[in-house]
Amino acid sequence: MDVLFGFTPPRLTTPPEKVERAILRLAERVNAIRPSGLTIYDIQDESARNPNPRPFPFSATYEPLEYARRLMEHTDIPMILYKCVVKHSPEQFARWVEAVEAETQIMGVVLVGGQSSREETHGVSLREAYEIWGDRTRRVQLGGVAIAERHLAAQNEHERIIRKMARGCTFFISQAVYHPDITTQLIGDLTKACAYHARPFPPFYMTLTPCGSAKGFEFMDWLGIYVKEQPKRFILASQNPVQTSVSVVRKMAQDIVNKFPSHPIRFNIESISKKRSEIEAAVRLTEAVKRMTSDE
List the domain range (segments joined by +) for residue 153: 3-294
pLDDT at 54: 76
Provide the residue type at 232 as one letter.
K
| Calpha distance 46→85 (Å, rounded) | 14
* pTM summary value: 0.92
Q: What is the mean pLDDT of each run of 10 residues along the chain (296 residues)?
A: 90 93 95 96 74 74 95 97 92 94 96 64 84 84 93 87 95 94 96 96 96 92 91 95 95 94 95 85 92 70
| Calpha distance 28→16 (Å, rounded) | 18
According to DSSP, the residues that pair with 142 across neighbouring strands are: 109, 169
CATH number at residue 90: 3.20.20.220
pLDDT at 157: 94
List the Cα angle 273/249/276 in 5-degree steps: 25
pLDDT at 119: 47
Structural domain count, the chain: 1
pLDDT at 118: 42
pLDDT at 115: 58
